Structure 1
C-alpha cells in the first residue's frame, strides 16, 4: 500500500529537515513524500538537498498570494499517487512505527476512510509557554472530535476527497480565517458519514512546537477565531445544523464566562468574542470560493506536477 506524505511548510528549515528525516527513518518504506514550500527564500531547499536523489522525495513551490497551508496541502494531495495520504506539519517528527501503524489500520478495515492520530509534546515548563498537543482520546464524541483533532497527524484514503472535497483554502494558517483547517476537514468527515477513527498509537511528536507565553496566547486566539470562521462557512454553505450547534454552544460558554468576567477574569469571554467574530467573518465570505471539491482536486493534478522544482536548480537561484 503506497502512502503519500504531504508536508506544507514556510520558513522553518531545521524543523522541516527533522520532519522529513523522521519519515525516512520509518520502518515502513513504501511511501512518497511531498514538501510544499511557501517560503520566499531558498533556506528550506538548501536543508532538503540531502534528500534530492531519492526518487520518493518531491519538492513543490506554492507561491499563491493570500493562501496558506490548506492550499499547499491540496497541491501536495493532487500531486501524489498513493491510495493513502498522510499529512503532518513541518515542526513534528513521526515515530518509527507511524507509517506501519497507519497501513495496518487501513488494511484491517476496508471501510475506514480517515484517521486522526496522536500529537505529543516533549517536556517543557508550562509557566514559560505552551506546546500544542492532542492525546487522541478514542471516546471523543462525534461533535467534539472536530474541535480537538490535530491536523499535524491526519491520514485518509484518497477516495474520501470525492466524498467531502479537499481542504477549504480560506481556512488554516496563512489564510483569511487564520487557523483551523483541521476543524473544517474533520467536521465535513463527521457530517458525511464517512468512517473515521481516533488512534492514540499512531503518534507524532511536536518537537519544535513550543511557543513562549505571548505567542501561545496569540495562537490560541487564532484557533478560536478560525473555529468560528469554519462554522460560519458551514452555515453559509447550507449546513444549518452546524450554525445552530455552534451558536447554542457559544450561548452556553458566554453564560459561564460572564460571571468570571465580572470577577475580573475576561479571558473566556474574550475567546467567545473571537469565535463569534470568526463566525461572522466566515459567514460573510463567498460560500463556495476557496472550497476545493473532489473534482477540482483531480483537475489540480497537472498544475501540481508542474509545481515540482529540482532542488539543485532552486538552490542555485533558478527563478520559478
Structure 2
C-alpha cells in the first residue's frame, strides 16, 4: 500500500489549480493538465479540499498530489509511529553560531556535531561538550556534503535532521516536518528558510531577508526538477535515513550544489521531496557586500558540476517551440515583431482550446493559460539577458541599440515585478542595485564553471515540447 493518505488527512488544492465546468474538471499542476472528474469523484470535493474518509477519497488525494494539483495539509498528517531523529550539524570555526543552534535544538534528540577541520577546534569542541553533543572531528576539510555524510554514517534513528551552524530551529519545525513521512515515498522534507527576526543590520541583509536564495516562498510544493520549486536547500532538512543511504547520501566531490544533486537523485529514484513553508528555520544572512557577492558567485559555480551529472535537468531557461519564436520575435524589435508575436500567441490559444474540447468554455480557459505562458517566457528571457548571459548582453550593448533597449527593459521590469513581492524593508533603489549585483555574481559563477569544465551545457537553454 503506497497511498500516503489515510482517514483524517486533508489535501488542499494548489493555489493555481482551477475548478472548471462546475466541478467536472480541474486544471493545474506542472506541466499544466486537465483532469476530468467522475461523478463519484466530484462528490468527494469539499470546496477546494479533499478530506480523506475512505479508499476512494484516498485514491483521489494521491492522484492530485502526484499531479501537483493539491498538497497535503501538514497538520492533518499523522505523527510517525517512531519519530526519533538525530540532528547532524556540520561546522567549521563558528562556535557562537553553533551554540545558538544547539540552544534552539533543546534537550531530547541526539546531536552529532561534525567539525569539518576547524582552524581553531577548541571552541567548537567546548560548545559541543557543553550541550552534550557527540563530536566528530575531521582531520581534513571535506565540505558540507562530506561532513553531513560523516554524521549520517553514525545515525541510528529512523530520521536525520541536517542543520547548518548558521541556522536557528523553531520548536515546531522538526515535529511538523516529520508528519510528511506518513507518505512512505517521502524521502526528505524542508521548511521555509528566512532571515533571523530583527537581525537585519545592513541594506544587503535586508535584501537577503526579502530575496534569499534559500527562501523558496510562501506556498507548499513538491520539489521536482523543471518545476517552480526545482530544488531545496539542505541548510535545514529532515530526511529518512534509509532513503539517503540507498542513494549513498551527498556527493562528496561537490562543494556547492550538493543539495540540488541530492534532491534530483532522490526524485530520480522514485521518491518525493516536500517543501513545507508552514514551518520555518531562521538563517543568519551575510551582512557584508563583499562576502555576500562572493557567496552568490560560488552558488553559480555549481552549475557545471550539476550539468555534468544531470544534463537533462540543468538549463538556464526552458522554452516550448512557440515560446522561443515568441521571445525571438519581440527581441528582434522590428515592425513585424508585435504582429508575429501576437499571431504565435493566437495559435497557442487555439491549440490549447482544442485540447480542452469537451469543456464548456475551452477558449475561455485557454486564454489565461496562454497569457501565463507568455509572461513566463518573458521572465525567462529577461533572466537570460540580465543573469545567465549577462557577459554576452554586455558585449551586445556595446554594438547594438536594440540590445541596450532590451537589456534596460528586462532589468527594470524584473526589479519592478520582484520588488512588489517583497516586504518593503528596502527602498526600490537599493533593492534594484542588490538585485543586479545578485545577477552579476551568480552569472559570473556560472560562466567560470562553464569555462573550467570546458562545456556550455549549463549555459544552453532547452527547447522542449
Structure-1-length-normalised TM-score: 0.71
Which one of the candidate residues 211, 220, 227 is aligned to 1:138? 220
Contact 1:151 1:182 in 2 (8 A): yes
Residue 147 to residue 282, structure 1, CA distance change in 2 (3 Å): farther
Contact 1:6 1:33 in 2 (8 A): yes
Q: Does 1:50 align with 2:221?
A: no
Contact 1:146 1:184 in 2 (8 A): no
Map 1:110-121; keep pairs closer than 5 Å. Answer: 110-121=184-195
**How many residue pairs end up in the alignment?**
260
Which one of the candidate residues 86, 94, 107 is aligned to 2:169? 94
Map 1:95-174; keep pairs closer than 5 Å. Answer: 95-106=170-181, 108-122=182-196, 123=198, 124=200, 127-129=203-205, 130=208, 132=212, 133-136=214-217, 137-139=219-221, 142-143=224-225, 144=227, 149-172=232-255
Contact 1:134 1:149 in 2 (8 A): no
Per-residue deviation, residues 130-181 of structure 1 (Å, max 9, x unmatched) = 4544145424762256765221111111121244221111223xxxxxx222
Contact 1:153 1:203 in 2 (8 A): no
Contact 2:202 2:287 in 1 (8 A): no
Matched residues in 2 for 1:278 and 1:187: separation? 20
Matched residues in 1 for 2:229 and 2:305: separation? 14
Contact 1:117 1:153 in 2 (8 A): yes
Q: Does 1:214 align with 2:296?
A: no
Contact 1:254 1:269 in 2 (8 A): no
Matched residues in 2 for 1:223 and 1:148: separation? 13
Residue 240 to residue 270, structure 1, CA distance change in 2 (3 Å): same
Map 1:185-264; keep pairs closer than 5 Å. Answer: 185-206=262-283, 208-232=284-308, 234=309, 239-242=310-313, 245-246=314-315, 253-255=383-385, 257=390, 258-259=392-393, 262=397, 263=404
Q: Does 1:17 align with 2:103?
A: no
Structure-2-length-normalised TM-score: 0.50
Per the alignment, in what secondary structure is the counterpart of residue 71 of structure 1?
A: helix
Matched residues in 2 for 1:199 and 1:92: separation? 17
Matched residues in 2 for 1:246 and 1:8: separation? 30
Aligned-residue offset at 1:231: 2.1
In the alignment, what sits opposite 1:78?
153
In the alignment, what sits opposite 1:315?
none
Choose between structure 1 and 2 for higher RCO, CA contacts under 8 A separated by at least 6 residues: 1
Aligned-residue offset at 1:279: 4.4
Residue 270 to residue 217, structure 1, CA distance change in 2 (3 Å): closer
Aligned-residue offset at 1:87: 0.4
Per-residue deviation, residues 111-148 of structure 1 (Å, max 9, x unmatched) = 32111211111242562444544145424762256765
Residue 280 to residue 115, structure 1, CA distance change in 2 (3 Å): farther
The alignment yields a C-alpha RMSD, in angstroms, of 3.0
Aligned-residue offset at 1:10: 0.2
Per the alignment, in what secondary structure is the counterpart of residue 285 of structure 2?
A: coil
Per-residue deviation, residues 262-295 of structure 1 (Å, max 9, x unmatched) = 25988546633421432464689xxxxxxxxxxx
Structure 1, unpaired ranges of 5+: 173-178, 285-320
Aligned-residue offset at 1:59: 0.8
